[in-house]
Structure 1
Amino acid sequence: MATRSLADARGAFEAGNADASARAHGAVGTVGINTDSAEDSPLLGRLKADEKHRTGLSEYIQAIIFGGLDGIITTFAVVAAGVAGNLERKTILTIGFANLVGDAFAMAVGDYLSSRAELDHANSERAREAWEIEHDPDTEKKEMVEIYVDKGLSHADAVKVVDLLFTNEDAFLNIMMMEELGIMPQDASVVPWKSAVITFVSFILFGGFPMLAYICAADYNKKADLDEIFGIAVGLLALALFGLGAYKGQVIQVPWWQSGLSMLIVGGLTTVAAYFIGDGLSSLA
């Protein structure tokens, strides 16, 4: 198992500290770390925490971000268009909830079908490559040698690398899939239906934020306007966008405030565009 901390490694690189880089990459016993107490070292403690953090929902970060961001922007687009069109609050809520649930199902189904298709394709190609390795190993090794020669290795070095890799056929197969077909080894812990469910929940959860202000507001027959309720909706939109971005930052290990601000800016520009599109369409009616 690789004994390194990516966060420490990045920090060491930015500081230009070679000793810290060696420690981050787990050079136990070479840079002043007591090997007798390595299990209790702060570095390995942080490593274990990082590994724990990268399990669970963090494996589905793509589904969470796509579902949440699409839910926020899609729902607020309805709210913004309704305000621009001076619709009644109850009409905005009706259209908003119908849009929220319908799009959430569509996103979840699309996520499942695309993930399932990608997985099936990868498994099919892997089975084909495994069959070819079993029945014609020399040709497969020759193809890998050519790939490494194209990458700049001498023919002799490429042969050595391929012969070494071939001692472990599973490893050879994984690398063959990546180098020849551009298909990454499939993570068995990521299940298509789970990804679809997380996409649905993320879409509903984050997409519901912009409508909370109108749910809690009285007088549903009142026509929507650029009033305090809309201002609260904008604030909730900003909170949801920033929170989603901050979570992304935690998972990919960049400053949470930086990731949150980036998400807020990108999502904000999209929702501003949605408002003016709605305003323009209402003026044509």
Structure 2
Amino acid sequence: MDRHATDRYATTPPTPDQLRRWQRYLANERAEAQVYRELARKRTGEEREILLKLAEAESRHEAHWRGLLGDAGTGPHKPDLRTRILGVLARRFGSVFSLALMQSAESRSPYSFDDDATEQMSADERIHAEVIRGLATRGRERMSGNFRATVFGINDGLVSNLALVIGVMASGVAPQIVLLTGLSGLLSGALSMAAGEYISVRSQLELLEASTPDPETRTAISELDVDANELELVYRARGMTEHEAAARAAAVFTALVSSRGELDDAHLIPTTDREETGSARSAALFSFLSFSVGAFIPIIPLLFGLGGVVAGIVALVLVGVSLMFTGGLTGVLSGKPPLYRALRQLLVGLGAASITYTLGLAFGTIL
């Protein structure tokens, strides 16, 4: 704890507002330390060690506020709502969602603007945000492939089929025609998304395969002229410097001699690290299902026999809630404010629907 802060409040008693703020800080630090311990309990190895170190740091901050509060810090104090939600998520799930929320919380620490917090505590919180960003990034990378296809598919289904249904509805055709149009949009869009995702991932895999060294190359290495050493050119073509390539080629020939002309896969031409692309079939399936889920929501009121303005309003409400949920979820995972992402998704969806509604009215008048 900061000795100067202790001396200052020994002569000037803190105000009631300061006491309440310190009590809130104290409760939050206790709760955040517990969140890190809960997350550590569900992990092993290096990640567990890092999270426990963060919990220790939060405990140091807790000691600072406890020292300032004195007897006023002994009672039960509740953390704020955000920290309580983090605690529930950590206990129930312990997932990347919790880490993403912790990243956001650490990034917006009030200590930078509070004279009662030390500069070291403020610096700690900024560093903690970067540590959590690194841990959350690992989780995001593990779930990025299918999660990306799912979120994009749902959003595309919601926006495209809502725009289609609202546009056709505005033209004044019968509800049965609107429903048939919505179902056709669902199937055609889902199939298109699945086909596009399959081709995209499959093409990426084929490009990577084209860059992968041919394993049969090792059969030719034993026949090379050691003095000419053209194997060095292979390594230089792969991005090594002339010195590195020469050393690598010499090592391969040394291994070739020691193994009596037989090289295993460990001595083949090295490949560069690549991101995991995932399965083309898996990506296509996720895209098909997620688009179908999103595109199904705008036609729900039509399936229940609603029509006209009522069906349009219900569809807009259902899709609006869904867009805000997916937008907020994306915001949480990216460590950004979820409300902004939710509203952005909502505005995009409603904007597309308003355009097609206007066009539907125009075509309906012409027809």
- Match of 1:98? 184
Q: What is the letter of the counterpart of residue 113 of structure 1?
A: I
Do structure 1's residue 253 and structure 2's residue 341 form an aligned pair?
Answer: no
Do structure 1's residue 107 and structure 2's residue 193 form an aligned pair?
Answer: yes
Aligned counterparts of 2:351 and 2:130: Cα–Cα separation in 1: 40
What SS does structure 2 have at the residue aligned with 1:127? coil
Q: TM-score, normalised by structure 2?
A: 0.53
Report how far residue 74 of structure 1 moved: 2.1
Report how far residue 10 of structure 1 moved: 6.2
- Match of 1:187? 276
Do structure 1's residue 209 and structure 2's residue 307 form an aligned pair?
Answer: no
- For residues 25 and 70 of structure 1, do their structure 2 counterparts lie closer, same or farther at Cα, with a shift above 3 Å needed? closer
**What are the superposed Cα offsets for residues 234-273 of structure 1, whole Å, 9 maximum, x if unpaired?**
1112112112212222332322222111111112211211
Alignment of 1:15-164 (within 5 A): 17-24=122-129, 50=136, 54=140, 58-127=144-213, 136-137=231-232, 140-141=235-236, 144=239
Report how far residue 233 of structure 1 moved: 1.2
8 Å Cα contact 2:104-2:335 kept in structure 1: no
- For residues 248 and 6 of structure 1, do their structure 2 counterparts lie closer, same or farther at Cα, with a shift above 3 Å needed? closer
- For residues 13 and 52 of structure 1, do their structure 2 counterparts lie closer, same or farther at Cα, with a shift above 3 Å needed? closer
Aligned residues: 235
Report how far residue 207 of structure 1 moved: 0.9
What SS does structure 1 have at the residue aligned with 2:345? helix
8 Å Cα contact 1:104-1:200 kept in structure 2: yes
**What are the superposed Cα offsets for residues 150-181 of structure 1, whole Å, 9 maximum, x if unpaired?**
xxxxxxxx989xx99xx9999x7426xxxxxx
Do structure 1's residue 198 and structure 2's residue 296 form an aligned pair?
Answer: no
What SS does structure 1 have at the residue aligned with 2:333? helix
> Which structure has the greater CA radius of gyration?
2
Aligned counterparts of 1:106 and 1:205: Cα–Cα separation in 2: 15
- Match of 1:178? none
- Percent sequence identity over matched residues? 18
Aligned counterparts of 1:282 and 1:60: Cα–Cα separation in 2: 40
**What are the superposed Cα offsets for residues 49-95 of structure 1, whole Å, 9 maximum, x if unpaired?**
x5896487554232123211221122112211222110111111112
8 Å Cα contact 2:145-2:283 kept in structure 1: no
Report how far residue 9 of structure 1 moved: 5.9
Aligned counterparts of 1:137 and 1:23: Cα–Cα separation in 2: 45
Aligned counterparts of 2:165 and 2:366: Cα–Cα separation in 1: 18
Q: Greater shift after overlay, 200-209 or 253-262?
A: 253-262
Aligned counterparts of 1:203 and 1:144: Cα–Cα separation in 2: 42
State the structure with bigger RCO (CA 8 A, min sep 6), 1 or 2.
1
- For residues 136 and 111 of structure 1, do their structure 2 counterparts lie closer, same or farther at Cα, with a shift above 3 Å needed? same
- For residues 271 and 191 of structure 1, do their structure 2 counterparts lie closer, same or farther at Cα, with a shift above 3 Å needed? same
Over the aligned positions, Cα root-mean-square deviation in angstroms equals 4.0
**What are the superposed Cα offsets for residues 5-61 of structure 1, whole Å, 9 maximum, x if unpaired?**
6765666566564323444556xxxxxxxxxxxxxxxx7xx987x589648755423
8 Å Cα contact 2:104-2:336 kept in structure 1: no
- Match of 2:272? 174
**What are the superposed Cα offsets for residues 88-113 of structure 1, whole Å, 9 maximum, x if unpaired?**
11111112112211221121111111
Aligned counterparts of 1:260 and 1:80: Cα–Cα separation in 2: 21
- Match of 1:266? 348
8 Å Cα contact 1:9-1:20 kept in structure 2: no
What SS does structure 2 have at the residue aligned with 1:174? coil
Aligned counterparts of 1:211 and 1:73: Cα–Cα separation in 2: 12
What SS does structure 2 have at the residue aligned with 1:208? helix
- Match of 2:312? 230
- For residues 71 and 22 of structure 1, do their structure 2 counterparts lie closer, same or farther at Cα, with a shift above 3 Å needed? closer
- For residues 75 and 14 of structure 1, do their structure 2 counterparts lie closer, same or farther at Cα, with a shift above 3 Å needed? same
Aligned counterparts of 1:47 and 1:275: Cα–Cα separation in 2: 45
Aligned counterparts of 2:148 and 2:231: Cα–Cα separation in 1: 38
Unaligned runs of 5+ in 2: 1-45, 52-98, 113-121, 222-229, 252-265
What SS does structure 2 have at the residue aligned with 1:94? helix
8 Å Cα contact 1:75-1:96 kept in structure 2: yes
Q: What is the letter of the counterpart of residue 317 of structure 2?
A: G
- Match of 2:359? 277
